[in-house]
Amino acid sequence: MSGTLGRQLGDTNRRLGRGTHMMGPAHSLSGAAAWLGVGAATAAAGHPMPWPVLVVGALICAGAALAPDLDHRSATISRAFGPLSRWLCEVVDKLSYAVYKATRTRSDPRRSGGHRTLTHTALWAVAIGAGGSLLAISGGRWAVLGILFVHLVLAVEGLLWRAARVSSDVLVWLLGASCAWILAGVLDQPGNGANWLFEAPGQEYMWLGLPIVLGALVHDVGDALTVSGCPILWPLPIKKKRWYPIGPPKSLRFRAGSWVEVRVLMPAFMVLGGFGAAAALNVI
C-alpha cells in the first residue's frame, strides 16, 4: 500500500514539474527586460539611472530570475556552482516540502517534493531581496562582490545557456568574478550609482536588493503562465487552498519549451529589453 502511494505521489510530482516552469534562458531574458523597463520608467519620471546601475541591475535581475528554481534538482541553477549548488537545491527542496506540509489545507494536493512551492512565492522574493540589501549595506565591499559574482554567474548560465553548458564551470566562474570586480569598481566611481536611490550615509548599494526581488517575481509570473500556475500569493487562502496556483485561464497557458515560449516570448523579451534600454539611456 505504501509503495503504491509513493508511486502515486511521484507521478503527481512529475506531472506538476512537467511544463510548470519556463526554461532558464526565458527566465533570464524576462528578468533583464524587466529591469531595463524599470530604467525606462525612471527616465520617463525624470530620474534616470546611471548607466552602470542599468547594466548591473539588468544582469542581477537576469540571474535572480533563476533563483526560485533552487527547489528543483534539475534546474539551471543546480549546475551553476557544481556540487555546492546541487547540495543547496536538495536542502531548499526539503525545506520547501516541510513548509508545504506544515501549511497545506485539505484542499491542497498531496506531494512528495517541494518544487514550485515556497521559493515561488512573493513572500520569498521580498525576503531574499531584503536579505540582499541588508548584506550589501552591512557586509562591505566583499559582500557586494559576492552578490555580484553569484548573480553574474547565474546570468551567464541563463543568457548564454548553450555556451555555458559546453564550457568549463571554472571559466564561467572566472568570467563572473572578473566582471563582478570590474563592475564594482565602476559603480564606486562618483556619480556612477553606488548610492543610487538610497543616498543616506551607510546605505550605499542598498538598491541591490531591488533587482533581486524583481527577478524572483518575474520568474513567478513566468511560471504562472505555464500549465500548472504558481502559488505566488501564499499563504493567503484562495478557494480553500493556501498553495493556490495563480495563473490566467487555462486556454492561455503553455507548456515549458513550447513554441509559444521559444518563438514568441523570448523574442518579445529581447525586443522589449532593447526598447527599455534605449529609453532608459534617452536614445529614444
State pLDDT tens for residues 128-141: 999 999 999 999 99
Model pLDDT, residue 167: 67
Q: How far apart are CA 218 and CA 62, in angstroms?
A: 10
Contacts of 128 (CB under 8 A, 6+ apart): 64, 67, 212, 213, 216
Model pLDDT, residue 256: 73
Average pLDDT over residues 37-49: 94
Please state whether the predicted TM-score (pTM) of the whole model is above 0.85.
yes
The yes-or-no verdict on residue 6 having pLDDT over 70 is: no
Alpha carbons within 13 A on the beta-carbon side of 90: 5
Model pLDDT, residue 165: 60
Which sign does the torsion angle of CA 115, 245, 61, 204 carry? negative
Model pLDDT, residue 130: 98
Model pLDDT, residue 10: 40
Average pLDDT over residues 231-258: 90
Angle at 167 between CA 165 and CA 170, to 5 degrees: 110
The yes-or-no verdict on residue 184 having pLDDT over 60 is: yes
Model pLDDT, residue 17: 41
Average pLDDT over residues 244-255: 88
Which range (33-37, 212-216, 252-256, 263-267) has the least confidence? Answer: 252-256
The yes-or-no verdict on residue 25 having pLDDT over 50 is: yes
Model pLDDT, residue 164: 57
Between the ranges 95-99, 201-205, 247-251, where is the mean pLDDT highest? 95-99
Long-range pairs for 93-99: beta carbons < 8 A, 24 or more residues apart: 96/71
Percent of all residues in the chain with a pLDDT value above 70, rounded to a whole number: 90
The yes-or-no verdict on residue 69 having pLDDT over 90 is: yes
Which range (15-29, 37-51, 69-83) has the least confidence? Answer: 15-29
Alpha carbons within 13 A on the beta-carbon side of 180: 24
In which band, very low, low, confident or very high, does the pLDDT at 67 lie, cut at 50, 70 and 90? very high
The yes-or-no verdict on residue 145 having pLDDT over 80 is: yes
